[in-house]
Structure 1
Amino acid sequence: MYLKIFRALFLSCILGLVSFKGVMAQEDHRDALELNLQQAEELFLKKNLSLLASQYNIDNAKAAVITAKLFDNPQFSIENILYNPQTKKFFDMSHDGGQFGGSIAQLFQTAGKRNKNIQLAKLNVQEAEYGFFDLMRTLRYTLRSDFYKIYYQEQSAKVYQQEINSLSKTLTVFQQQYLKGNIAQKEVLRIQSQLYSLQAELNELRDAIDDVQSEFKLLIRADPKMDVRPQFEFKLDGKSVLTATPYAKLLEAANTNRYDLKSARLAVDYSNLNLRLQKAMAIPDVNVSLTYDKQGSFVRNYNGLGISIPLPLFNRNQGAIKQAKIAIESSKTGLQQQQDQIESDLDNSYQSAFRLEKLYNSFDPKFKGDFTHLIEEVSKNYEKRNISLLEFLDFYDSYKTNTLQLNQLQLNRINSLEQLNFVTGTPFFNQ
């Protein structure tokens, strides 16, 4: 009788494994979006709203260049007599008694102020462009990291679901046998406890997957009601990726291609140019005017040429010049801080990637297959009653734990390479 019971249990485990894909297909009623990493990046570049908004910043900065190139408008004024007490007329426009005058004036900026403002506006365009590309670097890193995370978390969820399906069928058989008095209640409770624990862990994992899915779909503007299913194949088994790229080359790439570093350098150039502009602002501008007066001057039909220049006796733009000098020192400090941060981040990321590569390559490539084969042998021994139920569950739990750890290790290794791409601003390592 016991032999029949254990055969039934073993059969239920096998059926749970075989029916795993069918069960998953039934449970997954949401539409799925299957795409590889290249397709995801194409959607990201076309649809991401943050990138589109950043592009508007570039257009806005370019419009400011147009404004900086414009000259000051001339000023025109005209004056007419309101009331002539001699002729007793309002707005007297007569030839003999009428009086009116007019002038036109044009401001001419000196010391190259206009050109300096144009140059500053062009630097602002560069700053907006650097901000756009740095935003793209950051969002692309998030996109790729989320892609890999979703893939490996889904692989881990399959392991959980596989064991849950198997234990659910085993629990059904145990409950039936318990009602018949063939097994003790503690065996049923042991299975129930294991099953509930797995279901709780899977639920937490599903919550984590949903969070990443939500962020990923927002980056590519996918339908929120769809589930993303990354298509990916791990190709790093036994490869020493870092040895192909010297550390010095990575550092050089970071110093050359990081747009936030370019922006920090640009801030120094902007501050230097702004100091030149503020010194130029201390030099007075010239206002040239032409004046006509019909008969209000010492001669009739007076024509005059005027030049006005403010005298820089008190305000020589001293405060703005001092601020500009302080801004130069501040921008230089910011540039040095940015360079130090990049070197620190690169060293940290490189060491982490190196350790993960060494750890992963130390694993026997056949380990996963051998461990899966071991579980199959354990199932056969359980059927033959060579091992107890608790031993069988312990072996199965060990299989789950090792599979999850392997998935996490693969994810960590790929993320470490993506981190190097992010820190250097260069796609050295692509899967």
Structure 2
Amino acid sequence: MNRSVGARISQWNYSLLGLLLFTCLLGHAQPQAPAAPIIPSVTDTLRISLPDLEQQVLARNYSLLAQRYQIDIAGAAITQAGLRLNPNLWFQTNLYNPNTGKILPLGTPSQSDLEKQTFNSGYFAVQLQQVLMLAGKRSKMIALAESNRSLAQIAFRDVLRSLRYQLYTTYANLYYDLQALNLFQEELARQQRLVESTRIALQTGGAAPYEVTRLDVANRDLQANISNYKNQIADEQATLRILLRQASPTFILPTALPQQTNPAPALSVALDSALTNRPDLALTQEQIANAQRSLSLERARRTPDLMTGLLYERYGNAYTNFLGLQASIDLPVRNRNQGAIRAAELTAKNAGAGLENMQAVVQSDVLNAYDVLNAYYEQVNSRPPGYLDRIQNISVEASKAYNARNIGLLDYLDKIRTYQQAQLNHINLLNNVFQSQQQLDFVTNTKFF
């Protein structure tokens, strides 16, 4: 009699446990579409696509605005270089005449003074001088200023390239990190329901104490993963806020990130595009031209400038009204601008040596990005048909088997962990494909994807 009652109680316990487990695992019984990402609690949420976000960044980013000002500053320097030197006007007169005791004796001399050639008044002198730059210095200064503006324009292109790459990669990381966060939050919610049902079954003898402990450990792992992804998302939000110059705590929520399935360009095309379009390589080439123009200007400065002028002097020279022609020039005996020329020559050599190294860096960047992209493409293409459906079936079949008590808790958790890792690997693979595409676009400065 006691054995029969005990058997009925045990059967009732297992039935109750099965009902509880079926209720908490029902969410895994059928494949479902991905839910909307669960985002942190913030004051406001900005749902924005990548093209719209890019437009806002281009209009508001501080680095771009600062570099635009550098272009304008360089343009003003061209205007300044083209301006001719101002003439110099010099005036002189007698402040005090001790013979007459008069201050500023500017009146016309008396007839008696004119006859005696004694000019106690009326003296003054006016001189007008103009510096003439020789050896084409002015045109060389303009050419150097134009080269400086070209450097500023190329630097702007490089800042723009880096900014877009940072924006695209951060946006994608945020998009896929939110998907991973959503995955782990859903798994945690499901396993918390499982813990509660197992605790109820524990009270009736339908579950062992170690099962509750093991589920608690699994939940701790999920919570650690959730915390890590929240930290990454917070860093990505901070990066986007800096790019946007946004001080408000608005949460930036990516709306969509379609995968580009375009095949990789031919390697020769990628290399040619990089050598043609990379702004950092163009910057090195322009630095060579800039150094050559600077050297040309320093060599021109060996020739001194010519000072010309006119002098009018009244009552103070050989004639009553003296008009003289002036010309002066420094004699380049000791200073022929040797030091500045030598420095400009060394700068030109250094710039020329850097070009070959920069070309090697560009080619290496393209080869590396090309290999990484093809490796991820190969990984995507090697997945057999129906792979994603079979991933979902792991969870479904594990839930059914555990509900029917065909497998134990540890076996069930192992299958669920396999499902979680497979889903996470899929998310990471999509992100890696997008990131490697953007890397190839970045190193070639060409929009292939």
TM-score by length of structure 1 reads 0.93
**Corresponding residue SS for 2:106:** coil
Select which of 161, 171, 174 maps to 2:185.
Answer: 161
Does residue 401 (structure 1) correspond to residue 413 (structure 2)? The answer is no
Shift of 1:164: 0.1
Do 2:42 and 2:251's aligned partners in 1 also have CA atoms closer than 8 Å?
no
Distance 1:421 1:60 in 2: 30
Counterpart in the other structure of 2:20: 8
Counterpart in the other structure of 2:84: 71
Distance 2:158 2:40 in 1: 41
Select which of 53, 64, 79 maps to 1:40.
Answer: 53
Do 2:277 and 2:445's aligned partners in 1 also have CA atoms closer than 8 Å?
yes
Distance 1:384 1:353 in 2: 45
Do 1:20 and 1:165's aligned partners in 2 also have CA atoms closer than 8 Å?
no
Cα deviations across residues 51-103 of structure 1 (Å, max 9, x unaligned)?
11111111111111111111111111111112212222121112222222121
Shift of 1:37: 1.9
- Judged with a 3 Å threshold, the aligned counterparts in structure 2 of structure 1 residues 233 and 212 are, in CA distance, closer, same or farther, namely closer
Counterpart in the other structure of 1:241: 263
- Judged with a 3 Å threshold, the aligned counterparts in structure 2 of structure 1 residues 26 and 272 are, in CA distance, closer, same or farther, namely closer
Distance 2:26 2:246 in 1: 38
Distance 1:81 1:17 in 2: 111
- Judged with a 3 Å threshold, the aligned counterparts in structure 2 of structure 1 residues 20 and 222 are, in CA distance, closer, same or farther, namely farther
Between stretches 374-383 and 216-225, larger displacement belongs to 216-225
Do 1:278 and 1:324's aligned partners in 2 also have CA atoms closer than 8 Å?
yes
Distance 1:6 1:346 in 2: 58
- Judged with a 3 Å threshold, the aligned counterparts in structure 2 of structure 1 residues 14 and 56 are, in CA distance, closer, same or farther, namely same
Does residue 360 (structure 1) correspond to residue 376 (structure 2)? The answer is no
Do 1:371 and 1:399's aligned partners in 2 also have CA atoms closer than 8 Å?
yes
Unaligned runs of 5+ in 2: 1-12, 110-119
Distance 2:223 2:231 in 1: 12
Cα deviations across residues 205-234 of structure 1 (Å, max 9, x unaligned)?
110111012212322345642222222354
Counterpart in the other structure of 2:4: none
Between stretches 86-95 and 163-172, larger displacement belongs to 86-95
Shift of 1:416: 0.9
- Measured on the aligned residues, the alpha-carbon RMSD in Å equals 2.1
Select which of 287, 294, 299 maps to 1:267.
Answer: 287
Do 2:394 and 2:416's aligned partners in 1 also have CA atoms closer than 8 Å?
no
Q: Find the structure with the greater CA-based Rg.
A: 2
**Corresponding residue SS for 2:243:** helix
Distance 2:37 2:258 in 1: 23
Does residue 321 (structure 1) correspond to residue 341 (structure 2)? The answer is yes
- Judged with a 3 Å threshold, the aligned counterparts in structure 2 of structure 1 residues 240 and 196 are, in CA distance, closer, same or farther, namely same
Cα deviations across residues 280-334 of structure 1 (Å, max 9, x unaligned)?
1000111111111112222222111100011000100011111111111111112
- Judged with a 3 Å threshold, the aligned counterparts in structure 2 of structure 1 residues 11 and 26 are, in CA distance, closer, same or farther, namely farther
**Corresponding residue SS for 1:426:** coil
Do 1:17 and 1:162's aligned partners in 2 also have CA atoms closer than 8 Å?
no
Counterpart in the other structure of 2:172: 148
Distance 1:427 1:22 in 2: 32
Letter aligned with residue 214 of structure 2: R
Cα deviations across residues 120-177 of structure 1 (Å, max 9, x unaligned)?
1111111111111110000100100111111111111111011100111111122233
**Percent identity at matched positions?**
31
Alignment of 1:104-143 (within 5 A): 104-143=128-167
Unaligned runs of 5+ in 1: none
- Judged with a 3 Å threshold, the aligned counterparts in structure 2 of structure 1 residues 123 and 240 are, in CA distance, closer, same or farther, namely closer
Do 1:349 and 1:420's aligned partners in 2 also have CA atoms closer than 8 Å?
yes
Do 2:91 and 2:125's aligned partners in 1 also have CA atoms closer than 8 Å?
yes
Do 2:176 and 2:427's aligned partners in 1 also have CA atoms closer than 8 Å?
yes
Aligned length: 425
Distance 1:342 1:354 in 2: 18
Distance 2:236 2:334 in 1: 62
Letter aligned with residue 230 of structure 1: P
Alignment of 1:198-347 (within 5 A): 198-222=222-246, 224-235=248-259, 241-242=263-264, 245-347=265-367
Do 1:20 and 1:162's aligned partners in 2 also have CA atoms closer than 8 Å?
no
